[in-house]
Structure 1
């Protein structure tokens, strides 16, 4: 068999080989992201209820991981390009386990201040750990099944991420109630090692980074900023729902906020399960534009909602719309970056989600203070309009033959 034929087969894998190539990596993402999702509801209870610190301190302990992740994105992407995705995963997962060990060590310290410092260091360490193993698994998946399946890679691994974050909350609360924060910490320490055991069974891919470095991060940003910014804007409604939907229901004395959030999750996961192939098949630009339009309709319904049924429908539509934005924008972003800098491109692209997660709460919180909870979803609608304008302008530039 000729080299050309081999390359052709590798670039056009069958559905079975795609599943075989992605499922182990999806399992790694799921088990590893549980170590991020499980501590989230337990940390406030521990820092405030056990250690006795204020809500402001709780916010810093919870939020510092996101800032740490953002700051480590460039390093993790470059490391993945230079040393290969398996190496990035093999470094990130033990780092996450060490973060869990620091969580556990903090529970053994009697002095509350010293315990908080050790816990804070663990949270700082979890940021680059997440950045390394997520960049590695995403890049590894694209390398295993081919660039033309980028949308499917991002869709499947996105399901694993959100499923782990969603399941992590009730699991974390249950562990906290029965075993205390020490049980949460021990679980956080063990889960990455499960992912590491799976990674050890998989064949490594060659590092594609060039000697002397690949494309500079500034150049990567120039190539993908439009798609990353569109992703960040379209992720704002998700952050708004997770932060403020329950308060909207409580303010209006409505019941069923949990059902509405479940509807968001059902719409999000359902679309990804059945339509994850669309960005690869018909193009990320078209799928992304339609997705954000659906998301916009959901936010407008939430803004104008007068009863829980209308609000629930708006939440469902938001989940359906948001579902394919990440893979749609990812397909377009990855297509513009050379293979030897793909890890840096993945890391830079993911940083836009971190940016949305970090900024949405404070910005929208100010709007709510002035105009009430309905303004949160109007802000989400405006973000969707801006994302849609970015996508449409990119499509117009592409038709005109200019770089998007």
Structure 2
């Protein structure tokens, strides 16, 4: 019994160190999630623009995030994660100010131009505060608990995005888009207040010591590519599951999406320690295999219950892919370059999110909605192949070293 006390104390200490950062991620991502359902209503209903413009306004933040990952990672390594978070969250509030300013402009073209600037500003804001909190969390609890850091912060991200949907619609209906803008202004400042109370990590000075973005990419690309391929089924499910249900005339698409979320969060709550405990390679491979089963079930589904089961399995499988690949990726980079490595790693998800919709949309145009989930299954197979080739490469390197 006494042997377990140090471990229990370590777990409690890790939880205490991570909870403030989880709160920061949650408040920051609420400011991203709440506007998402409100933007189409505002851009189409109030400003009168068509669906193409709506898609552009929503998607432009993702592209801004991709192109600022490198800057955010370098900034985090040079100035420390606390400074990165302390810059990113006020930038998110400034994006909210631009949202608010756009509601005060009568001319639709000028209004949407200011709104676009706000969406562009939210990209680097997200890059900075998310890279900062990930790096800060690893620094506060140790690289051995990288999986736990990524799992807990992932729960905060998805919980905020999930809660943001109904909240955004409710606020839009009650207060208009101006109310959404005010929420976007205030929420990041709550996270900022929490961040300022925390102790900063020591920063290793000296530019020459840090990895470049391409240097970090060379070390972690396999794990990032495996993650990107495994993230495609998630993007497919969130984009096309409702349309699959509609094509068959089924009811209950909302329950299927809820089932995905329940599987995702449930696994992270109870099994987040597994990548750190038994290794990211094993957990990642098993996770993607489960995700593959979920996608195949969705492809072959002939009734809503089968589709629901496929959604739940996809959520269960996808849940630990991010921390599993993250554990392996972060183990390959020096501590003083962890910020650029986190930014590089996160960019793979951005690319997957940006490319999946258009590519799979073409597939659906040719073969129908079920084919989207066959594409998701093939992405899982490709992810497993990348993991397998990486493990072969690692074992080969180890054999050479021993020889």
Give TM-score, length-normalised by structure 2: 0.96
Q: Distance in 2 between matches of 1:236 and 1:118?
A: 32
Residue matched to 2:190: 194
Q: Deviations over 1:166-213 (max 9, x none)?
A: 000000000000000000000000000000010011001112353346
Residue matched to 2:366: 370
Q: Deviations over 1:74-108 (max 9, x none)?
A: 00000000000000000000000000000000000
Residue pairs, 1:192-341, within 5 angstroms: 192-208=188-204, 210-212=206-208, 214-341=210-337
CA contact (8 A) 1:39 1:172 kept: yes
Give the number of equivalent residue pairs.
Answer: 394
Cα distance, 1:219 vs structure 2: 1.2
Q: Of residues 150, 153, 159 in structure 2, which corresponds to 1:157?
A: 153
Structure 1: which 5+ runs fail to align? 1-9
Residue matched to 2:348: 352
Q: Deviations over 1:106-152 (max 9, x none)?
A: 00011111000000000000000000000000000000000000000
Residue matched to 2:67: 71
Q: Deviations over 1:311-343 (max 9, x none)?
A: 110000000000000000000000011111100
Q: Distance in 1 between matches of 2:258 and 2:9?
A: 35
Cα distance, 1:374 vs structure 2: 0.6
Structure 2: which 5+ runs fail to align? 1-5
Query: Is 1:119 matched with 2:115?
Result: yes
Give the superposed CA RMSD.
Answer: 1.4
Residue matched to 2:168: 172
Q: Distance in 2 between matches of 1:225 and 1:297?
A: 25
Q: Deviations over 1:339-367 (max 9, x none)?
A: 11100000000000000100000000000
Q: Is the alpha carbon distance of 1:64 and 1:209 closer, same or farther for their aligned partners in structure 2, counting shifts above 3 Å?
A: farther
Q: Distance in 2 between matches of 1:31 and 1:209?
A: 31
Q: Distance in 1 between matches of 2:246 and 2:107?
A: 38
Cα distance, 1:401 vs structure 2: 2.5
Cα distance, 1:66 vs structure 2: 0.2
Residue matched to 2:3: none
Residue matched to 1:393: 389
Which deviates more, 158-167 or 52-61?
A: 52-61
Query: Is 1:100 matched with 2:96?
Result: yes
Q: Distance in 2 between matches of 1:340 and 1:12?
A: 29
